[in-house]
Protein backbone atom coordinates (compact mmCIF):
# COMPACT_ATOMS: atom_id res chain seq x y z
CA UNK A 1 0.00 0.00 0.00
CA UNK A 2 2.81 2.41 0.87
CA UNK A 3 4.45 1.72 -2.48
CA UNK A 4 1.17 2.43 -4.28
CA UNK A 5 0.68 5.68 -2.38
CA UNK A 6 4.22 6.77 -3.24
CA UNK A 7 3.69 6.01 -6.93
CA UNK A 8 0.37 7.89 -6.96
CA UNK A 9 1.99 10.87 -5.27
CA UNK A 10 4.84 10.85 -7.79
CA UNK A 11 2.41 10.62 -10.70
CA UNK A 12 0.34 13.49 -9.34
CA UNK A 13 3.48 15.61 -8.93
CA UNK A 14 4.48 14.97 -12.55
CA UNK A 15 1.03 15.99 -13.71
CA UNK A 16 1.06 19.18 -11.63
CA UNK A 17 4.45 20.13 -13.05
CA UNK A 18 3.47 19.54 -16.67
CA UNK A 19 0.14 21.35 -16.27
CA UNK A 20 2.06 24.57 -15.61
CA UNK A 21 2.29 26.65 -18.80
CA UNK A 22 5.41 28.39 -17.51
CA UNK A 23 7.12 25.08 -16.81
CA UNK A 24 6.33 23.76 -20.28
CA UNK A 25 7.85 26.90 -21.80
CA UNK A 26 10.92 26.58 -19.57
CA UNK A 27 11.46 22.93 -20.50
CA UNK A 28 10.82 23.55 -24.21
CA UNK A 29 13.25 26.46 -24.41
CA UNK A 30 15.94 24.72 -22.39
CA UNK A 31 15.62 21.44 -24.28
CA UNK A 32 15.84 23.08 -27.71
CA UNK A 33 18.82 25.08 -26.48
CA UNK A 34 20.56 21.94 -25.21
CA UNK A 35 20.03 20.30 -28.60
CA UNK A 36 22.13 22.96 -30.33
CA UNK A 37 24.94 23.26 -27.77
CA UNK A 38 26.61 19.89 -28.48
CA UNK A 39 26.42 20.55 -32.22
CA UNK A 40 28.48 23.72 -31.79
CA UNK A 41 31.02 21.97 -29.53
CA UNK A 42 31.73 19.41 -32.25
CA UNK A 43 31.52 21.88 -35.13
CA UNK A 44 33.81 24.41 -33.46
CA UNK A 45 36.59 21.84 -33.05
CA UNK A 46 36.50 20.98 -36.75
CA UNK A 47 36.23 24.67 -37.67
CA UNK A 48 39.49 25.45 -35.86
CA UNK A 49 41.23 22.49 -37.47
CA UNK A 50 39.90 23.42 -40.93
CA UNK A 51 41.38 26.90 -40.45
CA UNK A 52 44.79 25.29 -39.95
CA UNK A 53 44.75 25.40 -36.16
CA UNK A 54 46.78 23.08 -33.97
CA UNK A 55 45.65 21.12 -30.93
CA UNK A 56 47.08 23.89 -28.74
CA UNK A 57 45.08 26.55 -30.59
CA UNK A 58 41.95 24.43 -30.31
CA UNK A 59 42.55 24.18 -26.58
CA UNK A 60 42.90 27.96 -26.33
CA UNK A 61 39.65 28.57 -28.22
CA UNK A 62 37.72 26.10 -26.05
CA UNK A 63 39.48 27.28 -22.90
CA UNK A 64 38.59 30.93 -23.60
CA UNK A 65 34.91 30.02 -23.30
CA UNK A 66 35.41 28.14 -20.01
CA UNK A 67 37.63 30.82 -18.48
CA UNK A 68 35.21 33.64 -19.34
CA UNK A 69 32.30 31.60 -17.96
CA UNK A 70 33.98 30.95 -14.62
CA UNK A 71 35.20 34.55 -14.32
CA UNK A 72 31.73 36.10 -14.71
CA UNK A 73 29.43 33.53 -13.08
CA UNK A 74 29.33 35.38 -9.74
CA UNK A 75 28.19 38.50 -11.57
CA UNK A 76 25.44 36.43 -13.19
CA UNK A 77 24.35 35.15 -9.77
CA UNK A 78 23.95 38.68 -8.38
CA UNK A 79 22.00 39.82 -11.45
CA UNK A 80 19.82 36.70 -11.26
CA UNK A 81 18.59 37.82 -7.82
CA UNK A 82 18.19 41.46 -8.89
CA UNK A 83 16.76 41.31 -12.41
CA UNK A 84 13.73 39.17 -13.42
CA UNK A 85 15.17 35.75 -14.20
CA UNK A 86 12.99 35.24 -17.25
CA UNK A 87 14.39 38.49 -18.67
CA UNK A 88 17.95 37.33 -17.96
CA UNK A 89 17.33 34.04 -19.76
CA UNK A 90 15.59 35.71 -22.70
CA UNK A 91 18.36 38.28 -23.12
CA UNK A 92 21.12 35.68 -22.85
CA UNK A 93 19.47 33.38 -25.40
CA UNK A 94 18.86 36.24 -27.85
CA UNK A 95 22.45 37.48 -27.50
CA UNK A 96 23.81 33.97 -27.98
CA UNK A 97 21.69 33.60 -31.13
CA UNK A 98 23.36 36.72 -32.55
CA UNK A 99 26.87 35.57 -31.58
CA UNK A 100 26.43 32.09 -33.03
CA UNK A 101 24.81 33.54 -36.13
CA UNK A 102 27.85 35.77 -36.73
CA UNK A 103 30.22 32.82 -36.17
CA UNK A 104 28.22 30.72 -38.63
CA UNK A 105 28.25 33.52 -41.21
CA UNK A 106 32.02 33.93 -40.83
CA UNK A 107 32.60 30.24 -41.52
CA UNK A 108 30.13 30.00 -44.38
CA UNK A 109 31.50 33.21 -45.89
CA UNK A 110 35.13 32.08 -45.43
CA UNK A 111 36.20 35.23 -43.56
CA UNK A 112 36.62 33.63 -40.13
CA UNK A 113 39.92 33.19 -38.27
CA UNK A 114 41.16 31.43 -35.15
CA UNK A 115 41.55 34.71 -33.15
CA UNK A 116 38.00 35.64 -34.17
CA UNK A 117 36.69 32.31 -32.88
CA UNK A 118 38.60 32.88 -29.65
CA UNK A 119 37.00 36.32 -29.15
CA UNK A 120 33.51 35.03 -29.86
CA UNK A 121 34.24 32.16 -27.48
CA UNK A 122 34.93 34.68 -24.71
CA UNK A 123 31.68 36.52 -25.50
CA UNK A 124 29.74 33.24 -25.48
CA UNK A 125 31.27 32.29 -22.14
CA UNK A 126 30.29 35.61 -20.60
CA UNK A 127 26.70 35.31 -21.83
CA UNK A 128 26.48 31.72 -20.58
CA UNK A 129 27.73 32.82 -17.16
CA UNK A 130 25.13 35.56 -16.93
CA UNK A 131 22.40 33.06 -17.78
CA UNK A 132 23.48 30.00 -15.79
CA UNK A 133 22.45 30.96 -12.22
CA UNK A 134 19.12 32.41 -13.38
CA UNK A 135 18.34 29.28 -15.37
CA UNK A 136 19.15 26.99 -12.43
CA UNK A 137 17.04 29.11 -10.06
CA UNK A 138 14.03 29.41 -12.38
CA UNK A 139 12.27 26.08 -11.74
CA UNK A 140 10.71 27.00 -8.34
CA UNK A 141 9.05 30.03 -9.96
CA UNK A 142 7.25 27.90 -12.57
CA UNK A 143 5.63 25.11 -10.52
CA UNK A 144 3.88 24.69 -7.16
CA UNK A 145 6.17 23.47 -4.40
CA UNK A 146 4.43 20.10 -4.34
CA UNK A 147 5.66 19.47 -7.91
CA UNK A 148 9.22 20.76 -7.50
CA UNK A 149 10.98 17.40 -7.31
CA UNK A 150 9.18 16.08 -10.40
CA UNK A 151 9.86 19.34 -12.25
CA UNK A 152 13.60 19.13 -11.57
CA UNK A 153 13.70 15.53 -12.81
CA UNK A 154 11.64 16.24 -15.95
CA UNK A 155 13.73 19.26 -16.86
CA UNK A 156 17.02 17.42 -16.48
CA UNK A 157 15.80 14.33 -18.36
CA UNK A 158 14.64 16.44 -21.30
CA UNK A 159 17.86 18.43 -21.49
CA UNK A 160 20.10 15.36 -21.15
CA UNK A 161 18.13 13.57 -23.87
CA UNK A 162 18.53 16.62 -26.11
CA UNK A 163 22.31 16.52 -25.56
CA UNK A 164 22.42 12.85 -26.54
CA UNK A 165 20.62 13.67 -29.80
CA UNK A 166 22.81 16.73 -30.35
CA UNK A 167 26.03 14.78 -30.00
CA UNK A 168 24.59 12.02 -32.16
CA UNK A 169 23.80 14.26 -35.14
CA UNK A 170 26.66 16.76 -34.76
CA UNK A 171 29.25 14.77 -36.69
CA UNK A 172 26.79 13.98 -39.46
CA UNK A 173 25.86 17.65 -39.89
CA UNK A 174 29.48 18.81 -39.93
CA UNK A 175 30.50 16.11 -42.41
CA UNK A 176 27.54 16.72 -44.70
CA UNK A 177 27.14 20.49 -44.59
CA UNK A 178 30.20 21.97 -42.85
CA UNK A 179 30.86 23.61 -39.49
CA UNK A 180 29.24 26.91 -40.43
CA UNK A 181 25.88 25.35 -41.22
CA UNK A 182 25.98 23.27 -38.03
CA UNK A 183 26.65 26.33 -35.86
CA UNK A 184 23.84 28.16 -37.68
CA UNK A 185 21.47 25.49 -36.34
CA UNK A 186 22.67 26.33 -32.82
CA UNK A 187 21.88 30.01 -33.50
CA UNK A 188 18.34 29.03 -34.47
CA UNK A 189 17.89 26.96 -31.29
CA UNK A 190 18.95 29.97 -29.21
CA UNK A 191 16.41 32.15 -31.04
CA UNK A 192 13.61 29.66 -30.38
CA UNK A 193 14.66 29.43 -26.72
CA UNK A 194 14.58 33.24 -26.45
CA UNK A 195 11.02 33.20 -27.80
CA UNK A 196 9.96 30.58 -25.23
CA UNK A 197 11.54 32.50 -22.37
CA UNK A 198 9.91 35.76 -23.50
CA UNK A 199 6.50 34.12 -22.95
CA UNK A 200 7.24 33.19 -19.32
CA UNK A 201 5.00 34.90 -16.77
CA UNK A 202 6.37 34.08 -13.33
CA UNK A 203 5.96 35.74 -9.92
CA UNK A 204 8.28 38.63 -9.15
CA UNK A 205 11.05 38.02 -6.62
CA UNK A 206 10.54 39.43 -3.11
CA UNK A 207 11.93 42.98 -2.87
CA UNK A 208 15.36 43.18 -1.25
CA UNK A 209 17.59 46.10 -0.32
CA UNK A 210 19.84 47.12 -3.21
CA UNK A 211 23.48 47.05 -2.21
CA UNK A 212 26.74 46.97 -4.09
CA UNK A 213 27.57 43.94 -6.21
CA UNK A 214 30.22 42.91 -3.70
CA UNK A 215 27.82 43.13 -0.76
CA UNK A 216 25.18 41.16 -2.65
CA UNK A 217 27.77 38.51 -3.44
CA UNK A 218 28.78 38.45 0.22
CA UNK A 219 25.16 37.78 1.14
CA UNK A 220 25.20 34.79 -1.20
CA UNK A 221 28.46 33.54 0.31
CA UNK A 222 27.05 33.79 3.84
CA UNK A 223 23.97 31.86 2.70
CA UNK A 224 26.24 29.09 1.40
CA UNK A 225 28.26 28.99 4.63
CA UNK A 226 25.06 28.93 6.72
CA UNK A 227 24.35 25.39 5.51
CA UNK A 228 27.12 22.91 6.32
CA UNK A 229 25.80 20.39 3.79
CA UNK A 230 25.88 23.07 1.10
CA UNK A 231 29.49 24.23 1.37
CA UNK A 232 30.64 20.70 2.12
CA UNK A 233 29.22 19.26 -1.10
CA UNK A 234 30.40 22.23 -3.16
CA UNK A 235 33.85 21.32 -1.83
CA UNK A 236 33.20 17.75 -2.91
CA UNK A 237 32.46 19.06 -6.42
CA UNK A 238 35.88 20.74 -6.44
CA UNK A 239 37.51 17.38 -5.73
CA UNK A 240 35.40 15.56 -8.31
CA UNK A 241 36.24 17.95 -11.15
CA UNK A 242 39.88 18.32 -10.14
CA UNK A 243 40.50 14.60 -10.52
CA UNK A 244 37.93 13.34 -13.01
CA UNK A 245 38.32 16.28 -15.42
CA UNK A 246 41.79 15.08 -16.38
CA UNK A 247 40.66 11.46 -16.81
CA UNK A 248 37.74 12.42 -19.04
CA UNK A 249 39.53 15.10 -21.03
CA UNK A 250 43.08 13.72 -21.24
CA UNK A 251 43.74 10.13 -20.16
CA UNK A 252 40.41 8.54 -21.08
CA UNK A 253 40.64 9.16 -24.83
CA UNK A 254 44.29 8.06 -24.84
CA UNK A 255 43.96 4.85 -22.80
CA UNK A 256 40.63 3.69 -24.22
CA UNK A 257 41.61 4.73 -27.74
CA UNK A 258 44.88 2.79 -27.58
CA UNK A 259 43.37 -0.39 -26.12
CA UNK A 260 39.91 -0.56 -27.65
CA UNK A 261 39.79 2.04 -30.43
CA UNK A 262 38.55 5.59 -30.62
CA UNK A 263 35.04 4.46 -31.46
CA UNK A 264 34.71 2.85 -28.02
CA UNK A 265 35.56 6.16 -26.36
CA UNK A 266 32.70 7.81 -28.24
CA UNK A 267 30.39 4.99 -27.22
CA UNK A 268 31.43 5.35 -23.60
CA UNK A 269 30.46 9.04 -23.59
CA UNK A 270 27.10 8.06 -25.08
CA UNK A 271 26.68 5.41 -22.38
CA UNK A 272 27.42 8.07 -19.76
CA UNK A 273 24.63 10.25 -21.18
CA UNK A 274 22.24 7.27 -21.22
CA UNK A 275 23.10 6.80 -17.53
CA UNK A 276 22.06 10.40 -16.93
CA UNK A 277 18.66 9.78 -18.49
CA UNK A 278 18.16 6.48 -16.60
CA UNK A 279 19.04 8.14 -13.29
CA UNK A 280 16.63 10.96 -14.01
CA UNK A 281 13.82 8.53 -14.82
CA UNK A 282 14.40 6.75 -11.52
CA UNK A 283 14.09 10.01 -9.57
CA UNK A 284 10.65 10.56 -11.07
CA UNK A 285 9.40 7.55 -9.09
CA UNK A 286 11.84 7.26 -6.17
CA UNK A 287 11.19 9.73 -3.35
CA UNK A 288 13.58 8.96 -0.45
CA UNK A 289 13.01 10.90 2.75
CA UNK A 290 16.74 11.59 3.21
CA UNK A 291 17.30 12.41 -0.44
CA UNK A 292 20.58 14.30 -0.06
CA UNK A 293 22.50 11.55 1.72
CA UNK A 294 21.06 8.97 -0.70
CA UNK A 295 22.24 11.07 -3.63
CA UNK A 296 25.67 11.57 -2.07
CA UNK A 297 26.08 7.81 -1.63
CA UNK A 298 25.03 7.30 -5.26
CA UNK A 299 27.71 9.82 -6.22
CA UNK A 300 30.31 7.18 -5.31
CA UNK A 301 29.19 5.26 -8.43
CA UNK A 302 31.09 7.84 -10.49
CA UNK A 303 34.25 5.93 -9.57
CA UNK A 304 33.04 3.07 -11.78
CA UNK A 305 34.12 4.86 -14.98
CA UNK A 306 37.81 5.48 -14.17
CA UNK A 307 38.10 2.08 -12.49
CA UNK A 308 36.62 0.42 -15.59
CA UNK A 309 39.15 2.28 -17.75
CA UNK A 310 41.91 0.94 -15.51
CA UNK A 311 40.78 -2.68 -15.11
CA UNK A 312 38.20 -3.69 -17.72
CA UNK A 313 39.48 -6.36 -20.15
CA UNK A 314 36.90 -5.48 -22.80
CA UNK A 315 34.85 -2.62 -24.20
CA UNK A 316 31.64 -3.79 -22.51
CA UNK A 317 33.14 -3.11 -19.09
CA UNK A 318 34.02 0.44 -20.15
CA UNK A 319 30.44 1.06 -21.26
CA UNK A 320 29.00 -0.32 -18.01
CA UNK A 321 31.35 1.84 -15.97
CA UNK A 322 30.40 4.94 -17.97
CA UNK A 323 26.69 4.16 -17.54
CA UNK A 324 27.04 3.74 -13.76
CA UNK A 325 28.95 7.01 -13.59
CA UNK A 326 26.16 8.93 -15.31
CA UNK A 327 23.45 7.05 -13.40
CA UNK A 328 24.87 7.85 -9.96
CA UNK A 329 25.79 11.43 -10.85
CA UNK A 330 22.29 12.22 -12.13
CA UNK A 331 20.57 10.85 -9.01
CA UNK A 332 22.84 13.04 -6.90
CA UNK A 333 22.26 16.07 -9.14
CA UNK A 334 18.46 15.86 -8.88
CA UNK A 335 18.45 15.50 -5.08
CA UNK A 336 21.13 18.19 -4.83
CA UNK A 337 19.02 20.66 -6.81
CA UNK A 338 15.95 19.77 -4.75
CA UNK A 339 17.84 20.29 -1.48
CA UNK A 340 19.07 23.70 -2.58
CA UNK A 341 15.70 24.87 -3.90
CA UNK A 342 13.83 23.69 -0.80
CA UNK A 343 16.23 25.19 1.74
CA UNK A 344 17.59 28.41 0.22
CA UNK A 345 15.37 31.54 0.08
CA UNK A 346 14.19 32.15 -3.48
CA UNK A 347 15.64 35.68 -3.54
CA UNK A 348 19.15 34.30 -2.87
CA UNK A 349 18.91 31.24 -5.05
CA UNK A 350 20.76 32.57 -8.11
CA UNK A 351 23.71 33.74 -6.01
CA UNK A 352 23.94 30.37 -4.27
CA UNK A 353 23.85 28.64 -7.65
CA UNK A 354 26.68 30.87 -8.86
CA UNK A 355 28.88 29.48 -6.08
CA UNK A 356 27.76 25.97 -6.99
CA UNK A 357 28.58 26.51 -10.69
CA UNK A 358 32.01 28.00 -9.99
CA UNK A 359 32.74 25.27 -7.45
CA UNK A 360 31.81 22.68 -10.03
CA UNK A 361 34.03 23.91 -12.84
CA UNK A 362 36.83 26.14 -11.59
CA UNK A 363 39.10 23.17 -10.82
CA UNK A 364 38.43 21.29 -14.04
CA UNK A 365 41.05 23.13 -16.16
CA UNK A 366 43.53 22.73 -13.31
CA UNK A 367 42.92 19.00 -13.26
CA UNK A 368 43.38 18.76 -17.01
CA UNK A 369 46.64 20.71 -16.78
CA UNK A 370 48.22 18.56 -14.06
CA UNK A 371 46.96 15.15 -15.21
CA UNK A 372 49.63 14.73 -17.88
CA UNK A 373 52.66 15.42 -15.64
CA UNK A 374 51.29 13.46 -12.68
CA UNK A 375 50.30 10.43 -14.75
CA UNK A 376 53.77 10.46 -16.32
CA UNK A 377 55.33 10.55 -12.87
CA UNK A 378 53.34 7.67 -11.31
CA UNK A 379 52.13 5.86 -14.45
CA UNK A 380 48.83 6.20 -16.27
CA UNK A 381 47.26 3.06 -14.80
CA UNK A 382 48.23 3.98 -11.24
CA UNK A 383 46.92 7.52 -11.64
CA UNK A 384 43.54 6.38 -13.02
CA UNK A 385 43.13 3.89 -10.15
CA UNK A 386 44.02 6.63 -7.67
CA UNK A 387 41.44 8.94 -9.23
CA UNK A 388 38.75 6.27 -8.92
CA UNK A 389 39.64 5.63 -5.28
CA UNK A 390 39.53 9.36 -4.47
CA UNK A 391 36.18 9.81 -6.20
CA UNK A 392 34.59 6.88 -4.34
CA UNK A 393 36.22 7.66 -1.00
CA UNK A 394 35.47 11.38 -1.00
CA UNK A 395 31.81 10.76 -1.90
CA UNK A 396 31.35 8.22 0.88
CA UNK A 397 33.14 10.53 3.31
CA UNK A 398 30.90 13.46 2.30
CA UNK A 399 27.86 11.37 3.25
CA UNK A 400 28.99 10.93 6.87
CA UNK A 401 28.50 14.43 8.44
CA UNK A 402 25.33 14.81 10.44
CA UNK A 403 24.11 17.81 8.41
CA UNK A 404 24.14 15.71 5.24
CA UNK A 405 22.56 12.66 6.86
CA UNK A 406 19.83 14.55 8.70
CA UNK A 407 18.59 16.82 5.90
CA UNK A 408 15.04 15.75 5.09
CA UNK A 409 13.23 16.54 1.87
CA UNK A 410 10.16 18.66 2.43
CA UNK A 411 6.84 16.88 2.27
CA UNK A 412 5.45 17.19 -1.27
CA UNK A 413 2.14 15.46 -0.68
Tens of pLDDT along 377-393? Answer: 888 888 889 999 999 99
- Please compute the mean of the pLDDT values over residues 292-321 and round it to a whole number: 92
- Please compute the mean of the pLDDT values over residues 117-132 and round it to a whole number: 86
- pLDDT at residue 4 tops 70: no
Specify the pLDDT at position 7: 62
> Percent of the chain at pLDDT above 90?
35
Specify the pLDDT at position 325: 94
The span from the CA of 265 to the CA of 303, in Å, is: 17
What region, left, alpha or beta, does residue 206 occupy, with left being phi > 0 and alpha being psi -120 to 50 degrees? Answer: beta
Same topology between domain 1-205 and domain 216-413: yes
Specify the pLDDT at position 208: 66
Specify the pLDDT at position 16: 77
Specify the pLDDT at position 90: 93
- pTM of the complete model: 0.84
pLDDT in tens, 252-304: 777 777 787 767 777 887 888 899 999 999 998 888 889 999 999 999 999 99
Classify domain 1-205 by CATH architecture: Up-down Bundle (1.20)
318/47: higher pLDDT: 318
- Please compute the mean of the pLDDT values over residues 329-335 and round it to a whole number: 94
* All residues at 6 or more sequence positions from 309 whose CB lies less than 8 Å from its CB, including other chains: 247, 251, 252, 255, 256, 318, 321, 384
User: Where do the domains of the chain lie?
Assistant: 1-205, 216-413
Q: Please state which CATH class domain 216-413 belongs to.
A: mainly alpha
- pLDDT at residue 3 tops 60: no
Mean pLDDT of the chain: 85
What's the chain look like in SS3? CHHHHHHHHHHHHHHHHHCCHHHHHHHHHHHHHHHHHHHHHHHHHHHHHHCCCCHHHHHHHHHHHHHHHHHHHHHHHHHHHHCCHHHHHHHHHHHHHHHHHHHHHHHHCCCCCHHHHHHHHHHHHHHHHHHHHHHHCCHHHCCCHHHHHHHHHHHHHHHHHHHHHHHHHHHHHHHHHCHHHHHHHHHHHHHHHHHHHHCCCCCCCCCCCCCCHHHHHHHHHHHHHHCHHHHHHHHHHHHHHHHHHHHHHHHHHHHHHHHHCHHHHHHHHHHHHHHHHHHHHHHHHCCCCCHHHHHHHHHHHHHHHHHHHHHCCCHHHHHHHHHHHHHHHHHHHHHHHHHHHHHCCHHHHHHHHHHHHHHHHCCHHHHHHHHHHHHHHHCHHHHHHHHHHHHHHHHHHHCCCHHHHHCCCCCCC
Amino acid sequence: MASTDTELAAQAARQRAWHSRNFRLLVTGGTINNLGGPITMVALAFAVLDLGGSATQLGLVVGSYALAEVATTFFGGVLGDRVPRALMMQGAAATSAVIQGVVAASLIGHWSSIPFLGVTGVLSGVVSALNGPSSSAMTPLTVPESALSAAISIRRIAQNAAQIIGYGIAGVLVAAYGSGFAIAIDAVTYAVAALCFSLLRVPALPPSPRESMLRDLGTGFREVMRHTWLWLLISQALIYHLFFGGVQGVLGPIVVGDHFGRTVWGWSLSALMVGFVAGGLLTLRWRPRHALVVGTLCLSLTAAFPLAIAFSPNAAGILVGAFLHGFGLEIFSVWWDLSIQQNVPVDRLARVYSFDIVGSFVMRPVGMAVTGPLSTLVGQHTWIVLVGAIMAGSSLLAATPRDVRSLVRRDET
